[in-house]
Structure formats: structure tokens, C-alpha cells
């Protein structure tokens, strides 16, 4: 089953091009690495795939939902781990996850499992503003997969994480999770090693998409 199908996807910001000519195909369970310099449009693409931004032209089908007409079909089926943890600093890890569980109509027991899975069960009742960046990131990852989404959208998921924590999250958000993943990262070597499909953006325009190319082509994105 094809998880993501894009053809000539475009998104403008007024007269400026944010995304143009984006075409790719990702099968279920595959990993798509999105590469490019800062401001190339990687985060925009991620938000379009999440249904948070609407495409202005071209075709986009995510998990069988035509965007933008059927965006509502994506609700609750995407796990989004972006730059913002999407958690409230004044609330504790447990309270934050319980809130999200209720929004997604999940059983409360999932919260405890999630806390244990990211190793935060002992500090689950401390407000987030007292926790380190790495701990908050772990809780954010827990939030992203709480509802067991078939599609994961990850924007630099290992930012702020030490190697031990990164390893802890592997079964949740890594290749081992078996979910379809779209990964935005500056770790080019790591991404190319993991990716089934790679997409390169420069100034919003797609430079390549398909089997991961050699390092030279990737470096061109950053010039």
C-alpha cells in the first residue's frame, strides 16, 4: 500500500515559492529522508504532509487521503515530532500525556505504558519546566506515538538527546517501529543509511527524489 504519493506539489507564501515540483512515492513501512539547507522547505513539506498546511497546487495523497480535500481523514493517524514539543511546560509529563490521550480518545493505561517506554515514569509528575531538554524531547516522542499512528513525521528527532536516550526511542520512532516515516535531519550520513527514499530540496524546489543518491549530489543542496 502506498503511504505517500506526491506529484508536483506546490505551496506558495504570497508570491514567494515555499515548495515546488515535489514528487515522490513512499510505500508503507518505508523511510523517506528529506534533505536540504535551512529554509529549503523541509519543515513546510512536513507540515503539508501532516495536514497542517494546505497544498496550493499538485497532487498529494497521504494514507489514502487526498489533500487538501480530505485532510480530516488524517486526524489521529499521524505522529508529529517537530521543533516544538507540543507540551505544556506548567503541566507534568503524566498530565500532558493524559491530555493528549483524551484528545485521541485513548485508554488511560496507554499513558503509563508510554511513560515507561521512554524511561520517564519516575519523573512523570514533575512540571516540564523543571526537566532537561532531553527529557522533554523524550516526552514529546511519547506524545507523538501515543495513538499508534501509521505515519511518523520527524523533524530532527534526536535534537537534545544523548546516545542512550536516542537508543531508547529507537523502537518507538526508529526503523524498528515498522511505521512509515518521513525524516528531516541534517545528519546526512545517518539519514542516507536509514532511508529507502530520499528527497532533496533547494529553495523550495525539488532537486531529486528516489533511491538515496551519492554524497556529492546531497552536498550540492547545501551550496
Partner 1 sequence: MYAKGLKSLSIASVVAVAAALALVFFYAPLDADQGFVQKIFYVHVPMAIVALCGFVAGGLMAIKHLRSGDRTWDMRSYVAIHLSIILGVGVLATGAIWAKASWGHWWVWDEPVLVSFLVVFLLYCVYYPLRFSIDDPERQARYSSVFAIAAGAFVPLNFAAVRMAESFTHPRVLSQTGGDLPGQMRLTFLACLLAMALLFVTLWKLELTSKNASMQLKRLRAKLLAEADARAAA
Partner 2 sequence: MIGAAVAILRKDLRLELRTKESVPAMSLFTVTCFVLFHFGLDRDSLDGELAAGVLWVTLLLAAVIGVTRLFAAEREQGGIDGLLLAPVDRTALFLAKGTALFVFLLALELVALPSFGLLLLGPDLRDALPELLLVLLLADLGLAAVGALTAALAAEARARELIVPLLLLPLLVPLLIAASQASEPLLRVSPSTEDLGRWLGLLALYDVVFLLLSIAVFDYLLED
**Contacting residues toward partner 2, per CB under 8 A:** 50-54, 71, 74-76, 78, 80, 82, 84, 86-91, 95, 99-100, 102-105, 127, 143
Dihedral sign from CA coordinates of 179, 137, 186, 75: positive
Looking at beta carbons only, is 52 or 168 nearer to partner 1? 52
Coil/strand/helix, residue 192: helix
For 124, half-sphere exposure in the C-beta direction (CA atoms, 13 angstrom radius) is: 19
What are the backbone dihedrals phi and psi of residue 137, each rounded to the nearest 5 degrees, phi first?
Answer: -65, -40
The answer to whether residues 4 and 171 touch, using CB atoms and an 8 Å cutoff, is: no
Given a contact cutoff of 8 angstroms between Cβ atoms, the answer to whether 196 and 32 are in contact is: yes
Residue 208 interacting partner from partner 2, partner 1, none (CB closer than 5 to 8 Å by kind): none
Q: Which of residues 84-143 bind partner 1 (CB under 8 A)?
A: none
The binder of 163, among partner 2, partner 1, none, by C-beta within 5 to 8 A per type, is: none
Out of 5, 8, 15, 134, the residue judged to bind partner 1 by CB under 8 A: 15
Distance CA 174, CA 157 (A): 10
Nearer to partner 2, 123 or 147 (CB): 147
By CB under 8 A, residue 13 contacts partner 1 = yes
Binding residues for partner 1, rule: CB under 8 A, are 13-15, 17, 54
Amino acid at each position: 500500500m502506498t503511504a505517500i504519493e506526491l506529484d508536483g506539489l506546490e505551496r506558495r507564501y504570497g508570491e514567494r515559492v515555499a515548495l515546488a515540483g515535489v514528487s515522490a512515492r513512499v510505500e508503507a513501512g518505508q523511510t523517506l529522508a528529506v534533505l536540504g539547507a535551512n529554509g529549503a522547505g523541509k519543515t513546510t513539506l512536513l507540515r503539508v504532509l501532516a495536514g497542517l498546511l494546505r497544498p496550493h497546487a499538485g497532487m498529494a495523497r497521504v494514507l489514502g487521503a487526498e489533500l487538501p480535500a480530505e485532510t480530516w481523514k488524517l486526524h489521529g493517524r499521524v505522529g508529529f515530532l517537530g521543533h516544538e514539543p507540543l507540551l505544556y511546560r506548567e503541566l507534568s509529563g503524566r498530565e500532558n500525556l493524559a491530555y493528549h490521550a483524551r484528545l485521541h480518545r485513548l485508554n488511560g493505561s496507554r499513558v503509563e505504558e508510554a511513560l515507561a517506554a521512554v524511561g520517564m515514569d519516575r519523573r512523570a509528575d514533575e512540571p516540564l519546566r523543571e526537566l532537561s531538554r532531553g527529557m522533554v524531547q523524550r516526552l514529546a516522542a511519547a506524545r507523538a506515538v501515543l495513538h499508534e499512528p501509521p505515519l511518523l513525521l520527524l523533524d530532527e528527532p534526536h535534537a537534545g538527546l544523548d546516545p542512550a536516550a536516542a537508543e531508547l526511542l529507537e523502537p518507538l520512532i526508529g526503523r524498528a517501529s515498522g511505521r512509515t516515516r518521513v525524516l528531516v535531519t541534517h545528519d546526512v550520513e545517518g539519514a542516507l543509511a536509514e532511508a529507502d527514499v530520499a528527497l532533496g530540496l533547494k529553495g523550495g524546489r525539488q532537486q531529486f527524489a528516489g533511491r538515496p543518491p551519492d554524497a556529492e549530489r546531497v552536498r550540492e543542496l547545501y551550496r
